[in-house]
Structure 1
Amino acid sequence: MIERRTVLGMLGAATLVAGCSSRAGVGRGIIAIIMPPYDNPFFRAQAEASRDRAKALGYEPLMLVHDDDASKQSEMIDTAIARGAKAIILDNAGAAATVAAVRRAKAAGVPSFLIDRELNVRGVAISQIVSNNYQGAQIGAEAFVAAMAEKGPYAELVGREADTNATIRSEGFHAILDQYPDLKSVARQSANWSQTEAYAKMESMLQANPQIKGVICGNDTMAMGAWAALKAAGRTDVIVVGFDGSDDVKQSILSGGIRATVLQPCSRQARMAVDQADAYLRTGSTGQPEKQLVDCVLIVPSNAAKLSNFDMRA
């Protein structure tokens, strides 16, 4: 049986591709847009922003979903090369596992422009546009410390261990949290960016540590899973802080649930990547360094209403 997220990814890809049909085959060639599964709204927002910007610039978007599978991603990069793609926009399936495929595309004359997740080498992709995860984690941790009144036992839900972002965010959290001796880490587990896993991990952590006062999460999907488990246990007194800036967490913040999140403006980064691909294809240069960090924004009740689809409205 095909896994649920794969099915959702296929359906999401079909929906996004359907949106390209009016421009298909017209204009300046194909840009391949290769993303993780669309059942995560963060990745869907990136895909939509990339697609829309590519269409606006006259390209035909080729929408592909790698399901966080490096082997499948490699096949999709080969597909992009075979289809004659002018460029690849990629949120990759592993910092190390992706390098060979991106290098292969480069050798074939197809430049890659990465967003969200970086490679562990430079000089293979043309651009790597990522959120300043360390800075974002620090401002999220500062909000968490304030909500915790600088003391009490807390738990941490960490993202997928193979993802560089998971490590950077956890390090950023602890650069702040570890300065407060009265904050006590009592549990730390990976929930692989998954809401379902976060729910189960939160249940087990709460059973083992019923005194938990707060939970800091490496992304909003895990924060939503943790919050659902806490609500089911009657523990809405527990402070939860997330990371991403999803609309689901925005609604929770506005209704007095999750305390805060950190917006990484993925839609803007996706548009930046397409703009830089276009500039590179036209002029041979993006005018920017390869590695580009985009600062994150703390989202709390006072500014949450301005958040929409991983962007801040003016």
Structure 2
Amino acid sequence: MMRCLSMLLCLLISPLAWSEAKIGVAVAQYDNYIAYLVQAMQERAKEVPGGATLQLEDAGGDVVRQLGQVENFISQSVDAIIVNPADTAATRKITERATLAGIPLVYLNSRPEVESFPAGVVFVGTDERRIGQMQMEYLAEKMGGKGDLAIILGRLAHDDTRKRTAGVKDVLAKYPDIKVVEEQSANWERDKGMDVMSNWLLSGKNIDAVAANNDEMGIGAAMALRQAGSQDVMVGGVDGTADGLDAIKRGLLSVTVFRDTVGIGAGSVDAAVRLINKENLQGDIWVPVQLVTPENYQQFQSK
């Protein structure tokens, strides 16, 4: 009898050992970086004891659509939900719906603009303000503490855009001889980064360096500079994607900040599984970041 009770308790507290977990995943907008994240999540899901299936939905940048996707996950009684928020200032209803349904919720990559999370809700990602500081510290040093800087912003509604740019400006406050001469959004996209840079070049304004909020926009800007024959302008990116690392190798980017995509993606699945298993997991789970330069980029190519 005691043996039967023990087996029953094991079943109750360790559901993943006996059945496959269903995890709904809602991403803000599918792009190259999100593709890397999703790949890391899928690889980790294969390693979950008992298995885990991921149901992926793309909000296309639409807050209302993303909320509907989360509500669909809830109606399907998934075991956990992972959300890369379409707007970090508009996550309250997502959190409310998930907690009311008693379904664990993991935000990944972009932290909601709240001071704290209720029980059963966590965030997995990186310190975006520190990322902006690291990028600009490198550029400022290479600029010799003076010159004209252009900033290419991500999607304006995105908290990562605000925090990374705030980090850049934290550093600029220490360098009064570095002037911001241009600042415009390219919506995280390579083609738009190229268009923005091309327009700046046509205006004839001097630019010594570009701080882009991600690698994709930075690569686009660097391509426009190369086409115009402007080889001396430094361009910084963020993410350290495979394309970003290759851009450093090719001399398109001068610097990027490596965000551990595998750590973030796999970590979100790990967090979801731990919450499903009723582990006491709370608050923010920070993934370390590292500066990538022409001198050390090779050590990141295998990560």
TM-score normalised over the length of structure 1: 0.85
Deviation per CA, 1:155-211: give whole Å up to 9, x if none.
Answer: 111111111111111110111122112211111111121222211111122222432
Partner of 1:187: 182
Q: Deviations over 1:23-64 (max 9, x none)?
A: xxx9323111222333x2210111111122123211111121
Which of 93, 99, 102 is residue 100 of structure 1 equivalent to?
A: 93
Deviation per CA, 1:267-295: give whole Å up to 9, x if none: 20121121121112113422xx3123333
Alpha-carbon spacing, 1:196–1:255, altered in 2? closer, same or farther (3 Å): closer
> For the Cα contact (< 8 Å) 2:29–2:86, is it kept in 1?
no
Mapping for residues 209-248 of structure 1, pairs under 5 Å: 209-248=204-243
Is the aligned partner of 1:123 residue 2:94?
no
Residue aligning to 1:164: 159
> Secondary structure of 1:240's match?
strand
Q: Which residue of 1 aligns with 2:4?
A: none
Deviation at 1:244, TM superposition (A): 0.9
2:53 is aligned to 60
Deviation digits for residues 214-248 of structure 1 (CA, Å, limit 9, x no counterpart): 11111111101111111121112111011111111
User: Could you tell me which of 26, 47, 65 is aligned with 1:72?
Assistant: 65
Whether the 8 Å CA contact 1:33–1:51 is kept in 2: the answer is no
Percent identity reads: 27
Quick check: 1:43 aligned with 2:34? yes
RMSD: 1.7
Is 1:31 paired with 2:23?
Answer: yes
Tell me the alpha carbon deviations over residues 96-137 of structure 1, each in whole angstroms, 9 at most, x when there is no partner: 222202311221121210111111223246111221111111
* Alpha-carbon contact 1:136-1:295 (below 8 Å) kept: no
8 Å CA contact 1:35, 1:47 repeated in 2:
no
Asked which structure has the greater CA Rg, the reply is: 2
User: What is the one-letter code of the residue matched to 2:295?
Assistant: S
Relative to structure 2, which stretch is displaced further, 146-155 or 213-222?
A: 146-155
Cα drift, residue 84 of structure 1:
1.5
Give the paired residue count.
282
Residue aligning to 2:260: 265
Structure 2: gaps (5+ residues): 1-17
Q: Which runs of 4+ in 1 moved over 3 A?
A: none
One-letter code of the match for 1:259?
S
In structure 1, the gaps of 5 or more residues are 1-25
The match for 1:176 is 171
C-alpha distance in 1 between matches for 2:52 and 2:99: 19
Q: What is the distance in 1 between the residues matched to 2:195 and 2:216?
A: 13
Letter in 2 for 1:118: R
Partners of 1:154 and 1:96 lie apart in 2 by: 29
